Amino acid sequence: MPSTMMNLSQIIQSRHQSKRLILLFCTFMLLGCTPDQEARPTQERAVVSVEVEPTITPFQPRQPTETPGVLQIGVSNAIPRPLMRLIQDTPAILGRSIVFQSDAEKADLRIGIEGEFVLTRYVYALVAPFPTLDDSISFQDLEQIWRGNSSSELKILIASKDVNSLEQLLGPRSNTHVSILQDSDLVDAAWGIRPAMVIVPFEGLEPRWKVIDINGLSPIDKPFAIEDYELTLRIALSGDPRLAQALIASLSLPESNRDSSKFTDLIMTGVTALTRATAWRMEQYGSNYPAEKIGELLKSADLTHVSNEVSFLQSCPPPSPIREGLIFCSNPKYAELLETIGVDLVEMTGNHLGDYGEEAIYETLQIYRDRGWQYFGGGENLEDAFSPALIEHNGNKLAFLGCNFPGPPSVWAKESSPGATPCDYELLFQKVSDLRSNGYLPIFTFQWSEHYQTKPSLEQVKNFRAAIDAGAVIVSGSQAHQPQALEFYGGGLIHYGVGNLFFDQMWALAVREEFIDRHIFYDGRHISTELLTTILEDYSQPRPMTSEERERFLEKIFAASGW
């Protein structure tokens, strides 16, 4: 029995070994069927992963990340709105429509305050209520007030639409020193909380503002140094040069929002009477002696006005400083003075125009015509006297009319004789209205009754205002030997009396003080008036006031104006 069991066990074990041999044999046979391959190792190899950046072959162009046919332009929020509207009107360029976005990183081109291609410059003006005594401020002081790093009580007002642009120029604003208002509220607010200054775009100027110099520069200067003016925002483009040039060619942006080709400045002055002691000094020192200290200022304007109250006459008696009486004439050689100061326009409303009769008026008119000077407020007959002087300059259409109120009647022009324009209000104011309707900016002057006061009379106020109601944008009193008050009325500016220019009154400070009004017109609007101040010396020669003289003088006139 044991031997039998042993044999059975050996048989089973022998069969198992046979199966293993058969399996092993088959394995070798299978491996032998692929003689070109190496036998697999009994141990696994380590796997190494290498990342290789795929290259783009010429026949496989990179797929664009942006939408095909679309040009992405990133625009800074510092771009002023008027410019943004012009930019957004740009048509498609290079066959690609334009999409504007604020994300500069995703844009093909970027418009902001930095970049390789300058698109335009945007000028802001620092202004204050008109009866402000300060004329200038340093940019550093303005910046310190803006940022709240100053003890000044001055408030700065701005419109909400200009916040981002001005922060690019001045840095982060102080909430205590800077107030943000609606554009339409700025003038009334500033006049109500003086002292206050306001920063407005150049095109936002209007006569109730006084423009303040910054480091001695102002956007109403002529010429204007735009590169040196600190409130100029530089708008530039950056990105692909080919796309940038195509965009620049399609844009319709001006070089600046202050276009010199639309700018006109007019200087208006008071009484000129080249007679008596003034003429005596001209005989001593030369015809141009009165203009030695202000001549360049007067000549610098595009248009210069004088109210010449005394006629020229070849046979005029020699002047004397002690000549009594009020019968005046001027030697024709004194016209050289008016040439020197660059006169363009002569007012003839003066009540001494006819002191030496018709011959002197005709001779005077010929002197004006020979020099190409326009005249108004008088003429060779009534029709000529009522005719306006019309001047177009840089697109600004100006019309000048004036009249003589007090007479004497002998000085007034007649149907066939020369003289000053009588104050026929119905006729004159209808002309003012018609001129305004035809696109002119009428400027009306009065030779009013003289009285030595800073405040105008009630009748004077009534008639000066009536000229504004008729359509005048500026009304100026040419009669005043003592300067008078100003007023903003009905959208216009009234200066009731400018004072003397060249006349020999030296008997009181009040008659030595003088205004020279510089009116600024831009793009068909009166946008600003600058009050220049002088004081008469040596019976004939005005000079610019010192800062102390100017402040005292303006305080007096502004008080008389109710400001």
Per-residue confidence band for 252, with pLDDT thresholds at 50, 70 and 90: confident
Highest mean pLDDT (candidates 104-118, 313-327, 436-450)? 436-450
Q: Around Cβ 63, how many Cβ atoms within 10 Å?
A: 7
Rounded CA-CA distance 133/128 in Å is 10
DSSP state of 202: G
Q: How far is CA 146 from the centre of its chain?
A: 21
Percent of the chain with pLDDT over 70: 88
195-243 pLDDT, tens per residue?
Answer: 999 999 999 999 999 999 999 999 999 999 999 999 999 999 999 999 9
515-550 pLDDT, tens per residue?
Answer: 999 999 999 999 999 999 999 999 999 999 999 999
CB-based burial label for 395 (10 Å; 0-12, 13-18, 19+): middle
Q: Which tokens go with 294?
A: 């202000």
Per-residue confidence band for 102, with pLDDT thresholds at 50, 70 and 90: confident
Look at 2 and 468; give whichever has higher pLDDT.
468
368-402 pLDDT, tens per residue?
Answer: 999 999 999 999 999 999 999 999 999 999 999 99
Q: Which tokens go with 374?
A: 């326009």
pLDDT greater than 90 at residue 88: no
pTM score above 0.75: yes
DSSP state of 385: H
Q: Which of 261-265, 323-327, 462-466, 553-557 has the lowest mean pLDDT?
A: 323-327
Rounded CA-CA distance 297/221 in Å is 12
Q: What is the DSSP code string of 454-482?
A: SSPPHHHHHHHHHHHHHT-SEEEE---SS
Per-residue confidence band for 57, with pLDDT thresholds at 50, 70 and 90: very low
What is the CB-side half-sphere exposure of residue 72 using CA atoms within 13 A?
Answer: 14
Residue-level pLDDT at 68 = 56
Q: Which stretches of 201-275 are DSSP H helices? A: 241-250
6-27 pLDDT, tens per residue?
Answer: 443 443 344 444 444 444 343 4
Which residues, at least 6 apart from 129, have a Cβ–Cβ distance to it below 8 Å?
187, 190, 191, 194, 196, 208, 209, 210
- The arithmetic mean of pLDDT across residues 24-40, rounded, is 41
Residue-level pLDDT at 323 = 67
Cis peptide before 2 (omega within 30 of 0): no
pLDDT greater than 90 at residue 114: no
DSSP state of 499: -
Structural domains of the chain, ranges and CATH numbers in brackets: 70-118+236-258 (no CATH), 124-231 (3.40.190.10), 261-560 (3.60.21.10)
